[in-house]
Amino acid sequence: MQPLRGTKDILPNEVKYWQKIYEIASQILNQNSYTEIRTPILEHTELFLRSIGDFTDIVNKEMYSFSDRGNRKITLRPEGTACIARAFISNKLYLKSKINRLWYLGPMFRYERPQRGRQRQFHQLGIECIGSSMPIADIEVIRIAIKILKKLTLQKWKLEINSIGNIEERVKYTNSLKLYLDKYENDLDEDSKKRFKDNPLRILDSKNTKTQEILNSAPKLMEYLEVESLKHFEEVCNSLNKLKIKYQINDKLIRGLDYYNYTAFEIKTQSNNEQNTICGGGRYDELIRQLGGPYTPSVGWAIGLERLIMITTDKLKIHEGKKIIYIASSNVNNSDIIWEIINTIDKYKLSFELDISNHSLNKQLKTANQIGSKICFIIGNNEIVNKYITIKWLETSTQQQIPICKINNYIKYIKLSLKT
């Protein structure tokens, strides 16, 4: 039986990369005072209807929603920010601190056409800086994203930024954009035709070459921004310049979620692949109030882990811990001696593997060599009768016989010898 289309088993030889990403991200985020939060994958459907927007592709086409046995409308979370906002409100985190820096890593679910780097169950690493309207918060999250990506060996990337203003400014711009596109409606690609009526801003995201040519002469959103929006964006750009973070202003960059305002940004890999956005985010000052909480300006981003792993696997250096001790036994069912040894190994926190294959001792020794163990503890019939263990150092083939009563001191010696 195969997994569901758009889902994937993460196998043991792949998990090490996920663990490495978690390790690097948590170290950098903890250093920057971000604390991890974990929210349920199940949420009320209303949460996403109120936050993401009725006319977005996610709500209209991509959400996994159903009614449970209590006839409640439930959705598997399609993104993380709305869930964090809901948790912030329901747990009254605003009473504990004015500024909350949070990060998360977990699975999301969208009914999309599966392709390389895109699954229906996918994973995101995300951060949210909640409680500051200052442009410096935008810079903080962008800087952290770049720091994580660089640490994960992503060398060729570009940062694209834009200001999408506030709701009032976007309404004025949307009206002008529709007026301009009206005469080209029949020339637009099919997706853009569908968006023209309900969500014309998303036409700016179109990958269709002809549609992009039409947009080249369209009104620009920046022309409709007023003083506050322009000032915020100018400060973001100035700070990026001071930090020597290279960026491009992309006046067609519109994030696909309704809750964004002011700064929007994407970090892209420099490849010809259409799916080259590795990180996307922006500011969302009204979302928490919109969901019933207090006015709480915020900014954040999310990184797609499947796409990230796909482009960094070859470069990530994974130091795999080898099993130091391999326990080979001709009679694994005679477990008294074995568990005494294992308890002692546990005491000194050494890694080990107990052979439970029922193969011959020679074959077990061969396995110990193949997996790179340093030492093999051999427990055959003679060892059991005479209460000793044969210790074989595999690199030198040196063998010793150690009485069971002295095994504690010998394992302690192994621990010390590995440190030197």
> Could you tell me which residues are annotated as the binding site for L-histidine?
79-81, 110, 124, 128, 255, 259-260
Whether the Cβ atoms of residue 23 and residue 148 lie closer than 8 Å to each other: no
What span, in angstroms and rounded, lies between the C-alpha atoms of 251 and 226?
16
User: Three-state DSSP class for 283?
Assistant: strand
Whether the Cβ atoms of residue 395 and residue 417 lie closer than 8 Å to each other: no
* Angle formed by the axes of helices 335-347 and 407-419, nearest 10°: 40
Whether the Cβ atoms of residue 160 and residue 247 lie closer than 8 Å to each other: yes
Q: Annotated binding site, which residues?
A: 79-81, 110, 124, 128, 255, 259-260
Provide CB contacts within 8 A for 186, sequence distance 6+. Answer: none
Q: Would you state the structure tokens that stand for residue 136, as one six-digit string?
A: 């410096």
- The C-alpha torsion from 352 through 356 and 361 to 363, rounded to 10°, is -90
User: Three-state DSSP class for 129?
Assistant: strand
Alpha-carbon torsion 236, 239, 240, 241, what sign?
Answer: positive
Whether the Cβ atoms of residue 124 and residue 302 lie closer than 8 Å to each other: yes
